[in-house]
Chains A and B, each alone.
Chain A
Amino acid sequence: MNLWGTLWDTLLDILPIVAVIFGFQYGVIRKPIKHLARVIVGFVMVWIGLSLFLVGLEQALFPMGELMATQLTNADFLPMLEEGSQRHWRDYFWVYVFAFTIGASTTLAEPSLIAVSIKAGEISGGTINPLMLRIAVSLGMALGITLGAWRIVMGWPLHWFIFAAYLLVIIQTLRSPRSIIPLAFDSGGVTTSTITVPIIAALGLGLASSIPGRSPLMDGFGMIALACLFPIISVMGYAQIAQWASKCKPKKKPQQMPREDNNAL
């Protein structure tokens, strides 16, 4: 177990931010921090918590994720190939199922998404359910990763997918409730941090190196980009469905999503 090394790395990662915060607090604002002891305890908890979290990931989740990515794309596991025939994309069925389920489940456990959804629940005054938000983001993430895996199998250019996803985002933006848009855009960036990126990267690398004609260097990239875009689509979709449902049944109790009319600028 490499706890000390991770503690040190995490400290280096946190220090610039702590320096910026305290530097501006005491150098520019020149006011003491309220509840300083509590804040310091909080920072130490973040530091130790993040380090323990990373050590645990390193020891349990990453090796398992990598092992399964290689096992699932291994020729021994895939269905038998007939003499001289090409592999069909359907042969990778379990890879897609794995990509979907692992994308959804790791996003549910993502610390930064939990943090953002807590904040969103707080300031929306209970109209946004943090758990529902996380489920919507996870579904989007899962779709994005599955599509990314399928793209690597098919070998189609990444920018087609990105362009199509951008187009969908733009159309949805013009049609969904305005109050959800900023949160939806943010949830795209939130999903791809600590847990998800390494496991997706392992999956992409395993796929690209086991499929003939794909280079791990060129095709390994791009999954993160798709995983960033699809949560935007799913969160806006969720808001649209909630809005539509509340229009169909106007007498039902208030929906979980805030409606357009009471939150305009």
Chain B
Amino acid sequence: MEIVVSLVRQMRESLRDLAPVVLVMAFFQLVVLRQPLPSTLDLADLLTGLICVVIGLTLFIKGLEFGLFPVGESLARAFVTKGSLVWLLLFAFALGFGSTVAEPALIAVANQAANVVAEGGLINHTDAARQMFASSLRMVVAASVGSAVVVGVLRIFKGWPLHLMIISGYVIVLLLTLLVPAEIVGIAYDSGGVTTSTITVPLVTALGVGLASSIKGRSPMLDGFGLIAFASVMPIIFVLLFSIIGLPFLPGVAL
């Protein structure tokens, strides 16, 4: 019974959250564009789609509160009481790597990036070379997210100041940008954004907050956040480095 009541309440909130999107689209269709819907789009399909979005969002948010959040936090606490930093870091890496490598947005972007690079003449125009580039890019990005979570967890343990680390990350990005081929720059910057998926973000946040609240002398507000910040800077650095160091060793590179 309790679950049903909280689901209904959540559903109301989901409706409120989605209303702006629907209003914006309706305004542009009815007031600005004033063109009929093409025959490929059916109004009934659009409505069922919207209903799916509302129900899906409701279930997702409630599910996070029931499942992922408590488990993530209790795991973080258990690692702290166990006192084994090595296992915690291994867990952090596995979490970052595992949640990124299968990310649909990353797969799509990696394939598109391979086309750009082939167009720019950095790799050969063959399917094999493109395939090779796309899958190495995915591995590089997944490894970078894994190491980002590791660095973030280390920071929470040692209490290093976040802003100095992020700023030095930015400086590294700026310096590397000057060294790499122009085709890579856009891809590298964007790969920082696509890594942080809908599942990774809540889980990594729960891990950080759980760690910060169970280690003495750390405040969850000041130390718990910041893991995702690393996960969006580190891929940029790794991809830029990869285009300098790793790319010449890939088979099919036209350098």
Contacts and interface: CB of A to CB of B under 8 A. Distances in A.
Interface of A: 1, 9, 12-17, 19-21, 24-25, 28-29, 31, 33-35, 38-61, 63-65, 67-68, 71-72, 77, 94, 98, 101-102, 104-106, 108-109, 111-112, 114-116, 118-120, 123-124, 158-159, 162-163, 166, 169-170, 173-174, 178-179, 181-183, 185-186, 188-190, 192-195, 197, 217-218, 220-222, 224-225, 227-228, 258, 263, 265
Contacts of A45: 59-60, 62-63, 66-67
B33 A29 contact: no
B134 interface: no
B105 A193 contact: yes
B221 A179 contact: yes
A24 B94 CA distance: 10
Given A24-B87, A224-B194, 15 more contacts: A24-B75, A25-B75, A28-B82, A38-B67, A42-B66, A43-B67, A49-B57, A56-B48, A59-B48, A123-B209, A179-B222, A186-B227, A188-B232, A189-B232, A197-B193
A182 B223 contact: yes
A77 B78 CA distance: 60
Contacts of A218: 116, 119, 183, 186
B166 A115 contact: no
Contacts of B131: none
A9 B173 CA distance: 33
Contact of B33 (A68, A111, A263): A68
Nearest to B206: A119
Interface string B53-88: 111111111111111111110110011001000010
A48 B70 contact: no
Contacts of A46: 59-60, 63-64, 67-68, 199
Contact of A106 (B21, B55, B98, B103): B21
Contact of B221 (A15, A67, A173, A258): A258
B57 A53 contact: yes
A205 B47 CA distance: 26
A157 to B, nearest CB: 8
A31 B221 CA distance: 28
A127 to B, nearest CB: 9
Nearest to A36: B71
- Range for the number of chain B residues in contact with chain A: 35 or more
A14 B45 contact: no
B225 interface: yes
Contacts of A105: 20-21, 23-24
Nearest to B100: A16
B244 to A, nearest CB: 16
B185 A16 contact: no
Contacts of A120: 221, 225
Interface in B101-124: 101-105, 112, 115-116, 119
Contacts of A39: 66-67, 70-71
B187 interface: yes
B18 interface: yes
A181 B95 CA distance: 24
B6 to A, nearest CB: 12
24 contacts: A17-B99, A28-B82, A45-B62, A45-B67, A49-B60, A55-B56, A58-B49, A60-B50, A105-B24, A112-B202, A114-B61, A162-B189, A182-B162, A182-B221, A182-B226, A185-B225, A185-B226, A188-B228, A189-B232, A190-B196, A194-B105, A218-B119, A224-B194, A225-B192
Specify which of A109, A170, A195 lies most central, judged by the most chain B CB atoms within 10 Å of its CB: A109
Contacts of B127: none
Given A68-B28, A173-B167, A193 B205 contact: no
Contacts of B159: 265
Given A28-B87, A34-B74, A64-B41, A12 B102 contact: yes
Given A29-B82, A40-B67, A109-B17, A222 B186 contact: yes
B46 interface: yes
